[in-house]
Homo-oligomer: A and B are copies of this chain.
């Protein structure tokens, strides 16, 4: 099997890289904080000293780092991938970044004949570990098909959204828009039931059978009821993603009223102390506004 590079071994990157190893790929990895490469080394991966060193030995390199600036540094920084990449190599950007930055990176790489596939994922840490992520890819079809076997190791739902780079990032943004509104809708629905004195678990059960069915109601609605807010998908990352969406919409002059409001409530979750909880904990913001106690054993009316 092909020799794959993997740069960025964070909460998502580490289990994804492990899955590639387990699937039989030879792997050379790099992470800025070297300690996070250790589990990969133990599992059989080579550890490189820089992104450039990864590109020296791999014709397909996955990148999974925090934001636009980090992607740019990995690609074009002092010890970046670019000078070691060759024509027809493929870089797969698995992180969630802005469509505009993705397009700019793709243009620069194209000048040396290198293909970029933007392939942001959805499904959280659990999905990364289980290899059941949803992957939304943008970029040249031929390059996409070349790396499709690899993407199918990482995710169970891989869609090529469009030939244009950034299409994957746009789909991911759409995903966050739809997910955020649904999450808040479920949070408000369960809070309405609680405030009415009706069993919210029964309400959720009734709603699962009709048009209100959503994966969010099923999975995150359950978390809201059981208060199992261990991530999951951390609120601070959800907030970051919504920031990307709204910055993009600002640049386009595109109104997204419900998304903008959902983002404010996600800000509130972070500001009120929930940054490391699963973003379904936003129900606690709705409850606080309703004068309901979001915690056991605390005063109901905070003012």
Contact = CB atoms under 8 A, between A and B. Distances in A.
Contacts of A7: none
Main secondary structure of the interface of A (DSSP, over half): helix
Interface in A208-260: 209-217, 219, 239, 243, 245-250, 252-260
Copies of this chain present: 4
A173 B99 CA distance: 28
A215 B219 contact: no
Given A123-B210, A192-B177, A203-B161, A184 B258 contact: yes
B249 A192 contact: yes
Contact of A174 (B207, B249, B289): B207
A156 to B, nearest CB: 8
A22 to B, nearest CB: 22
A203 to B, nearest CB: 5
Given A289-B272, A290-B255, A170 B192 contact: yes
B303 A195 contact: no
Nearest to A300: B273
Given A175-B211, A212-B122, A170 B198 contact: yes
A188 B259 contact: yes
Contact of A181 (B134, B181, B209, B254): B181
A190 B174 CA distance: 7
Contacts of A178: 182, 185-186, 188-189, 207, 212, 214, 217
A261 B254 contact: no
B272 A303 contact: yes
Contact of A175 (B160, B161, B189): B189
A248 B197 CA distance: 13
A180 interface: yes
B271 A207 contact: no
Interface of A: 99, 122-124, 133-134, 136, 138, 156-157, 159-162, 164, 166-167, 170-171, 173-175, 177-182, 184-186, 188-193, 195-199, 202-203, 205-207, 209-217, 219, 239, 243, 245-250, 252-265, 267-275, 281, 284-286, 288-292, 294-295, 298, 301-303
6 smallest CB-CB distances across A and B, nearest first, come from A181-B185, A157-B209, A134-B210, A273-B301, A271-B291, A214-B214
6 contacts: A157-B209, A170-B193, A175-B212, A253-B275, A255-B271, A258-B265
